[in-house]
A = this chain, B = another copy of it.
Amino acid sequence: MEKAISGRIYDIVEIVGASTKGWEEAVKNAVDTASRELTNVRIAEVAKLDTLLVEGEIMEYRARVKLSFKHEIEPETL
């Protein structure tokens, strides 16, 4: 499949991070976890924010984010 490909390609994945402190840290946790497996994450778009409660107390802030990162093309397919 010898195709000439122009233009930059980005993949998008959806992930939910959580934190007891707030949504900024929830996104940071999601990004840190994702960055172990993905490189070149450039933007995290917030898709949903909510809060989990236990017995009337906030247990964790959760942020659902869409991460976009540069598509990794395997060397052997180039």
Q: How far is the CA of A26 from the CA of B23 in the complex (A)?
A: 13
Chain A interface residue number, banded: 35 or more
Q: How far is the CA of A57 from the CA of B20 in the complex (A)?
A: 20
Contact between chains at B50 and A45 (CB < 8 Å): yes
Contact between chains at A48 and B50 (CB < 8 Å): no
Known contacts A10-B16, A11-B14, A50-B45: A5-B33 contact under CB 8 Å: yes
Contact between chains at B19 and A7 (CB < 8 Å): yes
Which residues in chain A, 28-54, are within 8 Å of chain B measured between CB atoms?
A: 28-33, 35-37, 39, 41-46, 48-54
Which residues of chain B have C-beta atoms less than 8 A from A61's C-beta? 24
Contact between chains at B15 and A10 (CB < 8 Å): yes
